[in-house]
Amino acid sequence: MKNTELKFFIDTTVAISAITGRNKDAWILLESGKKRLISLFVNEYVIKEIRRTLKEFDFSQEKINYAIDYVSECCIIRKNVPKAKFSKYVIQDKNDIPILAGAVQESAILVTEDNALKNDAKKYLECVNPSETLKRLSI
Amino acid sequence: MKYLSETLFGKVTKAGTITIPKKLRMKYHIKVGDVVKYADVDDGIKIVPSELTSIPPKIKEMWDEADEKKISLKEIVEKVKKVRSQVYNEEYGT
């Protein structure tokens, strides 16, 4: 069941929904990355957002650190894309560009829980939610 | 390991799906949404619960805490949007 030639870039929404158990498909996706059944990527921007979002939800620092370590075991962490490369992306929310650009740079499929980003990103790359990813992988 | 003494049967549907009998689901703690693994063995197909659905205790604690806080998927998307705006400004300026 190895699909390591397929690359997936994980949006912060997916990492958080997996870590908090809000979407079991997101969790299975993360675990598949940990077991190297598929290749998962994030960038430093996503890691910073995970840390900040979990803090916003009042999780303890110990749990946040554990969650970050866990995500780091499941995904390959890339450097952020420089702002100079953002101009070619025209989407509704400019704040999503670092995620979109990260996925494009990796030639990966973007996985997100955010429908607005999903629709916007389709101009530039394939973008799916966790359930669609599992269907595609026949997991 | 104590095995079930009775033989259980399942019917294959048009779509190729089968139902795992309740007794076996309970015995192997297989829940809705879990993933199972099929292995092609000498005399048939072996179905085993997948390790993909096992959860480390510390992560389970976070799931329970999220349950207590009633965190929803919608709330996660909204919260990330808010955080993303702050992080963008910090990393890239306005």
User: What are the chain A neighbours of B86 within 8 Å (beta carbons)?
Assistant: 52
d(CA A122, CA A134): 18
Q: Which domain holds residue B68?
A: 57-92
B33 & B64 share domain: no
Specify whether the CB–CB gap between A103 and A109 falls below 8 A.
yes
Q: What's the CA gap between A42 and B54, in Å, rounded?
A: 23
If asked whether residues B16 and B35 sit together in one domain, one would say yes
Q: Are residues B68 and B37 in the same domain?
A: no
Nearest to A16 among B61, B76, B86 (CB): B76
Residue B71: closest CA among A24, A16, A52, A8: A16
A131 touches chain B (CB under 8 A): no
Higher pLDDT, A80 or B15: A80
Check if the beta carbon of residue A128 is closer than 8 Å to that of residue A111.
yes
- Indicate whether B63 and B40 sit together in one domain: no
Same domain, B4 and B18: yes
Same domain (yes/no): B63, B48: no
Residue A3 in this model has a pLDDT that exceeds 70: no
Residue B5 sits in a domain whose CATH number is: 2.10.260.10
CA distance A94 to chain B (A): 9
Judge: A95–B91 Cβ closer than 8 Å, yes or no.
no
Q: Give the model confidence (pLDDT) of B57-94 as tens digits.
A: 899 899 999 999 999 999 999 999 999 999 999 999 86
Same domain, yes or no: B1 and B40? yes
| HEC-encoded secondary structure of chain B | CCCCCCCCCCCCCCCCCCCCCHHHHHHCCCCCCCCEEEEEECCEEEEEECHHHCCCHHHHHHHHHHHHCCCCHHHHHHHHHHHHHHHHHHHHCC
Determine contact: A79 vs chain B, CB below 8 A: no
Q: Do B75 and B31 sit in the same domain of this protein?
A: no
| Residue A39, pLDDT score | 95
Total structural domains in chain B? 2
Residues B3 and B44 placed together within one structural domain of the fold: yes
**Residue B16: C-alpha distances to residues A108, B11, B13, B73 (Å):** 31, 9, 5, 31
pLDDT in tens, A19-32: 999 998 999 899 99
pLDDT reading at B5 higher than 90: no
What is the interface pTM, i.e. ipTM, of the complex? 0.93
pTM of the model: 0.81
Domains and CATH numbers, chain A: 3-137 (3.40.50.1010)
Kindly state whether residues B45 and B1 are assigned to the same domain.
yes
Domain match, B68 and B33 both: no
pLDDT tens track for B16-59: 999 998 888 877 767 777 778 888 888 888 888 776 667 888 99
Nearest-by-Cβ selection for A19 from B54, B59, B72: B59
Cβ pairs bridging A and B (under 8 Å): 107
Burial readout A25-38 (b: 16 or more C-beta within 10 A, e: otherwise): bbbbbbbbbbeebb
Question: Do B66 and B23 share a structural domain?
Answer: no
